Structure 1
Amino acid sequence: MRHGARPKNRLVRYAAVAALAAAPLVTLASIGQADQLAPPLGPCVGDCPNPFPVPVHNGPPAGTDDTINVFVGGNYTVEGRAAEVEGKVVTVKDLTVDKNGGGLFNMGVVGVGSQVAPPPGTDHVTVGGAVDVVTGNRVQIGGGDPARWGNLAYGTTESGIIEFSGPGAARQDPAAIDPFLGLTTVIKDDSTCMAEQTATGTLSVEGNLYTFTGDGHSMRQIFNVDRNIGSDTAAADLVFAGIPAGATVIVNMVGPDPVLIRTNTGSGFPGDQLTDMQPLLMWNFPTAADATVSGNAQFQGSIMAGNAAGTVTLSNPGTNGRVYVAGNLVQTGTSGSEIHAYPFNGDLPTCGQSPSPSPSPSQSESTSPSPSPSASESESPSPSPSESGGPEPSESVEPTHGERPEPGQSHRPGGGLANTGSSLVAPLAGGAAVLLGLGAAAVTLARRNRGRRH
């Protein structure tokens, strides 16, 4: 009987070991799941370069990206000396191009940016309402290499000069906007959710130096800012400290209207702190009726604005990241304003989850003299791009995978499961399932052996 009992004990022991081995895998899978924005928002989808070219880039084409780079829930207006918008553009209402003195505005493919354009032959620009290119202005969609061509789909009317590369064309297609209508709610909910999170870091201000100090360990760093960054007369110098490698950084701009970020920090060059942070940095305007990003920087990071009745104005030379606004967008500037296509790969919060254990720290404003360099507006332009075979240059001199869920599906409020973007979760979950299955099979086999011996 002792010889007969040994195999049974061994099988039971195997079952216990398998169950114990599976437990940490299940736990790791549950805590390791990323909660990225679901397509067609967020990370790159397509022939994506890894890594993306450091902004700003005027070299050869670097790949394709079918993710929306600029989403506008209201009207998209191009004014001043705005120059270019790169990547896939969707605006629910009207698109108006009315630059100061007229001139060229590039869309989809640009002279300087990531050089990651929407896939050829797709709709580079989708407009739910009317397209009005005011007299004296012209729009170019696609450009340079004829293979990098795209289309314009609009809902009601189209007027003015619109040029296309290759076989690109404009078409009236009121239904083209339909797949994207739910994204306004997704953006509103995500913006609200981010603003509800407990802060993990503090902002200190000394003169023109604005220092964001994280807690040094959280992989989602939250800053709740109840004041403007910079002012109408001085631009802020931005520094981040206490941010772990690979952490998502969310800056919630929750101050009273009008909300302003005015900074000269952000060159786009390798080694620049904000350049390195860009794919995981989100600037959130949850309720602002009037929000402006200005200064002389190549502004790094993505922008989200949740107020469907609000307006976001970009007057800085360059924005390197996604721009997702539930309301209106105005792109302007005195010497060129460009939006460049760079993904947001960050891990957003899920509302309803346990809040951060960190207390909400207060923001301190020091009255000590600023040790920072002068942050006054510089009159010198951003580094100028060299000549390339890209689209016809505008007047700006600044450089300035598989199945996709329906838009609106999200792991946050407003939909179902998000595209996790995690290469770790599925293998771990699968491994846990296999080990649990082995444990269950071993228990069953042990019981059968015991039954045979009775």
Structure 2
Amino acid sequence: MKRTPATRGRRAVRVAVATAVAALPMAAVLTVGSAAPLAPPLGACTGTGCPATWPPPNNGDFTGRDASINVFTGGDYTVTGRAAEAEGKIVALGNLTVDKSQGGGAYNMGVVGVGSRVPPPNGSDFVTTGGSVDVRSGNRILIGGSDSKGQAFGNLRHAGSVSGTVNIDPTGRSIQDPNAAAPYRTVLTQIEEVSGCVGRATATGTVNVTNSEATFTGDGTSMKQVFNVTRNLASPSGGQIGLVFNNIPAGATVVVNMLGASPVINTYTGTALPGDQTTRMRSKLMWNFPTATSAEIRGSAQFQGSVMAGNPGGTTTIAQPGLDGRVYLAGNLIHTGTGGYEIHSYPFDGDLPDCKVSPSPSPSTSPSSSPSSSPSSSPSSSPSSSPSSSPSSSPSSSPSSSPSSSPTPSPTASSTSPSASPSNSGHPSSHHPTSHHPTGHPSSHHPGHGGELPSTGAGNAPVVFGLAGVGLLGLGGLVVLAARRRGRHS
């Protein structure tokens, strides 16, 4: 029988349909429980300059460029106390206010004196605000910087007015744009949805909190380790405690869900140095505050891991000498502290839990080890949501007090792990003069960091593939679109 064009066309349709039907079971298998990385511009490093290895905080030459957002606030961004720097690409949908009441001085943005030294690409928007920029008297914002080879320069894009002193390194510009925040509205929605989803994940491990230490014990097998915490990670008096992770598979994503209205983390754990446990975990460690009205991270550490908060009406206060990771908040940010406290740019390339396979939260904090199970049971340690709150009201938030604030009490009888007694090396000070401009030359040594630190040598994280979509395009049959994470990360 001779095949006409119409016959051949009908046969092509039948082949395409049969191919699609045969492929559907495979597509279903691939999507159930699939990896859920944060989509750009959040999460992993993007662009052409991502470093193969992310060094510990240092003041050397730039080691790469990162186009992803490092700090995002859906609300206002307020700098108080003596907070000094925020590295990487910064987006605030609300107002940006710098009011360093303790002596004033500079607040570096985009490029910092000591950090990962991976700024955004030259000529891009280093800082974007959907509101006004208000730099109070005696303060100033510095945007941009340099190393021994040249400058890193970028723009301040703002929807509202600018008042006070803002210094932008050439050839960066101040750009008034009423639609400055428009491209990032969907990012706010993404943070709300992801934080809420992750907050509903079923716990895979348990948390045992004593007077001096919180021990997170995983199941030893899952590549997504989830811990749900229903109390503060602090001592009964609100003081600092240690953080220890056990039975975590190499390369696993670790999520700590801080459940409750006013959770507090007060810790001395974290040095950012090679060999430190949380340094190894950093790129896959997420601290999630899905519903908090007020949340606080304070202590005397180089705190490792990224932070996410999903309540657009909430306020997160960061008062650690250093926070090494992404900061993604649906609500407001208060960056404060009694010294030159900093936020450093480091990527998050973990695979977060998928809501389809994580329908409900399961608190994992050990009841017998919790002096109080309610997050609101420590009223003196819950941060105020007002930007005017004094940083001195946070107990043990000064790095200078870290030796005395290290826990000395013996663990309670319910403790299942030995007490950690931190050495002084676990309390690196990141103080530097607040007028410091980030040149990156050896002469711009940052007191308290011990000079330029060696490379971690952590190597590259594995490239992760996920199924992005399945569909029929004309008569071509099933087309599977694979989404590959961009960039290389340690």
**Superposed pair shares fold, TM > 0.5:** yes
% identity of equivalent residues:
50
CA apart distance, 1:378: 9.9
Find the counterpart in structure 2 of residue 215 from structure 1: 219
Report 1:67-86 matches (<5 A): 67-86=68-87
Paired with 2:75 and 2:441, the residues of 1 have a C-alpha distance of 28
Matches within 5 A, 1:143-154: 143-145=145-147, 146-154=150-158
Q: Which runs of 5+ in 2 are unaligned?
A: 1-22, 370-411, 451-461, 471-476, 479-490
* Aligned amino acid, residue 65 of structure 1: D
Alignment RMSD (CA, Å): 3.4
Q: CA deviation at 1:354?
A: 5.6
Mapped contact 1:201–1:221 kept (Cα < 8 A): yes
Deviations 1:295-325 (A, max 9, x none): 0010000000011111100011011000001
Partner of 1:448: none
Work out whether residues 73 and 92 of structure 2, in 8 Å CA contact, stay in contact via their aligned partners in 1. yes
2:366 to 363, 375, 397: 363
- Select 2:281's aligned residue among 277, 294, 303: 277
Residue deviations 1:338-384, cap 9 Å, x none? 0000111011122233659x986552444327842457999965267
Cα 1:266–1:381, aligned 2, differ >3 Å: closer, same or farther? closer
Alignment-derived partner of residue 123 in structure 2? 121
Pick the aligned partner of 1:268 from 268, 272, 294: 272
State the SS of the aligned residue for 1:174.
Answer: coil
Aligned mate of 1:382, from 406, 420, 429: 429
Distance 1:207 1:110 in 2: 36
TM-score, normalised relative to structure 2: 0.72
What amino acid does structure 2 have at the position aligned with 1:313?
Answer: T
SS at match of 2:82: coil
Closer, same or farther: CA 68–425 of 1 in aligned 2, 3 Å:
closer
Describe the SS at the equivalent of 1:186.
helix
TM-score normalised by L of structure 1: 0.77
CA contact (8 A) 2:51 2:64 kept: no
d(CA) in 2 for partners of 1:293 and 1:354? 26
C-alpha contact 2:188 2:330 (8 A) present in aligned 1: yes
* Aligned 8 A contact 2:209 2:365 in 1: no
User: Hey, what does 2:111 align to over in structure 1?
Assistant: 109
Alignment-mate amino acid for residue 300 of structure 1: Q
User: Which structure has the larger Rg?
Assistant: 1
Q: Where in structure 2 are the equivalents of 1:224-243 lying within 5 Å?
A: 224-231=228-235, 233-243=238-248
1:312 aligns with 2:316: yes
Q: Tell me the equivalent position of 1:140.
A: 142
| Residue 68 of structure 1, CA deviation | 0.4
Q: CA deviation at 1:156?
A: 1.3
| Residue-by-residue CA offset, 1:215-262 (whole Å, 9 max, x unaligned) | 1111111100000001454211111011111111100000342x1000
2:293 paired with 1:289: yes
Residues 361 and 79 of structure 1: CA distance in aligned 2, closer, same or farther (over 3 Å): closer
Alignment check: 8 A CA contact 1:81 1:395 kept? no
After superposition, residues 14-93 of structure 1 pair within 5 angstroms as 29-30=30-31, 33-93=34-94
Distance in 1 between the 2:297 and 2:135 partners? 24
| Cα pair 1:111 1:392 within 8 Å, conserved | no
Partner of 2:190, secondary structure, is helix
Q: CA deviation at 1:204?
A: 0.8
- C-alpha change, 1:133 and 1:58, in structure 2 (3 Å) is same
CA distance in 2, matches of 1:292, 1:37: 23
- TM superposition shift of 1:287: 1.0
**140-149 vs 328-337, greater mean Cα deviation:** 140-149
Contact 1:43 1:345 in 2 (8 A): yes
Counterpart Cα distance in 1 of 2:425 and 2:272? 16
- Alpha-carbon distance in structure 2 between the residues aligned to 1:204 and 1:160: 48
